[in-house]
Structure 1
């Protein structure tokens, strides 16, 4: 099972994401590094374990503000073997094509940023993207069809349960199990709520291909030994 650390960027800093309440996010405080600069936090995470990928949520870009591609380009230059998944609100084909051609990273197309099904499908088909099926406390976000029809999904599907992010309540196992069954041969990645190694073991048993991690890495609930066991 692939373990993928996450950094959430806002205002030039890595912020502590909690329950998807973005207006309340503040710069992260972590024992992995001093400060909240993106390059420093990324280096601290990569020192914890030999992760091969990093998920970046560019919250400013998602909100329509100038994003952090310059910092991501520097991150890619410092860690040339690192696969970057970038959620920057790119739910239009032209933006996916631009990132596919020039980088940095690979686009994540989030259902919550799709203006409609047609433009969202065009974005999915414009490059080797990952689709994020986004769920808020109110339920699925974005076009209903993209959640309901597995035949529309690309090879990589992220199940993003925003209400579980940073909340310490555990993953949404029931939803994940249902999506794994519907996904067939597609790879399903879990995002939101992982607390400890027992959660990872249960996700592996469900057939989850990978897990996005943040809080449990910073607060030590997933120590290096546990991470190494699942990465092996």
Structure 2
């Protein structure tokens, strides 16, 4: 594994269970079947992921919140925290309003992730700054969310996830060209690749272009990474 490169395991939550993500087609995600855990309960899967790879951060995508506007799944987040008390959580729960972020921060359950797909302008991202992680979302050739968030690195916090939804869970490899361009546009930003990472060879390629880390789920469940 590349020195200093951060592997961040990912959990996708839907109706209180962990589901297996594929190609960003969220409505069709089914409860996960994995050798890392018995069943699909959030705590068990979180323990399994962190037993498979050494990680200090776990990324949680709350799909009910992202897709349907539901409040964050507090019970599942608390189960993950109880199962893995040492890990820090990055939580994407479709945050689009300051009040929702403030309420979440009051739960003390993790650092909010602000997805570009959930925004109507750059205001929330700029207001939160480094309190939050920013996710720069695309699906295929489509940039999700306001153009200003894609075009102006001055809006970004220190940590930015480059989310390529169409590559999630399909073994397509990371979008190195896009990551290379974003790295050139904002050299001081810590970029985290999300979507398509298949194993150590991809990690080496990402580290080679200056990416700080990667969000990974399928490749961990499939045994491509070991602690």
- TM-score, normalised with respect to structure 1: 0.91
Contact map agreement 1:111 1:134 (CA 8 A) in 2 = yes
Which residue does the alignment assign to 2:113?
A: 108
Which residue does the alignment assign to 2:170?
A: 167
Which residue does the alignment assign to 1:19?
A: 23
| Range with greater deviation from structure 2 (112-121 or 100-109) | 112-121
C-alpha RMSD over aligned residues: 1.4
| Range with greater deviation from structure 2 (34-43 or 178-187) | 178-187
Q: Displacement of 1:66 after TM fit?
A: 4.4
Q: Displacement of 1:80 after TM fit?
A: 2.3
Deviations 1:198-226 (A, max 9, x none): 1110000011111100000001122x1xx
Deviations 1:24-58 (A, max 9, x none): 11011111111111111001111113311100000
- TM-score, normalised with respect to structure 2: 0.93
Distance 1:164 1:55 in 2: 17
Q: Displacement of 1:8 after TM fit?
A: 0.2
Which residue does the alignment assign to 1:220?
A: 223
Alignment of 1:1-232 (within 5 A): 1-63=5-67, 64-122=69-127, 124-125=128-129, 128-222=131-225, 224=226, 228=227
Q: Displacement of 1:119 after TM fit?
A: 4.3
Contact map agreement 1:92 1:120 (CA 8 A) in 2 = no
Q: How many equivalent residue pairs?
A: 222
Q: Displacement of 1:115 after TM fit?
A: 2.4
Distance 1:204 1:31 in 2: 28
Structure 2 residue ranges without an equivalent (≥5): none
